[in-house]
Amino acid sequence: MLLGLKRKRALFLINHVYQGTNPKYWEKKRKLLNSIGHAIGEGTKIVGPVRIYGKLQVGKNVWLGENFTVYGLGTVRIGDNCDVAPDVVCLTGSHEIGGPERRAGKGTMNDLSIGNGCWVCARSTLIGPLTISDSSVIAAGSVVNRPVDENTLVGGVPAKVIRTLE
């Protein structure tokens, strides 16, 4: 019960009191998320609001844009030096296909990993299980449901390789 209250308080502060890009709030938001069981690296900037239902592990010097959301109870891992634009959604929960009486069958929990140096552009949706390899770019509005190779730009619905990056 106390962890639930602590979690609600921390998210309230991040989402309502310390929301935005005021530099004096970066460290406070990082410490609040660490205090409720997430692992947020030094120099990471969280704009807020955020919604995190699963577990979040973020490396150093990451930018998490407004309305970053983790749905499901899986773990989202983000490497160092990444930029995650506004309105990015990570889906770590799903269902197996059930019978005709209820197609959303047994629930599943999936992890999602974003490598070092990646850029996830605005309004992208990432569907686990998923690995996005180092130095890749996810174009705005993409739906990514397959692994992304290193140094690759992907985009679209569903995301496809647009080109290899140098």
Active-site residue among 51, 95, 146, 160? Answer: 95
Measure the CA–CA gap between 111 and 103, rounded to whole angstroms: 23
Kindly give the pairing relationship between strand 104-109 and strand 160-164: unpaired
Measure the CA–CA gap between 95 and 104, rounded to whole angstroms: 6
Within a 10 A sphere around the Cβ of 45, how many other Cβ atoms?
A: 17
Contacts of 148 (CB under 8 A, 6+ apart): 131, 132, 133, 136, 138, 154, 159
Active site residue 95: yes
Residues labelled catalytic: 95
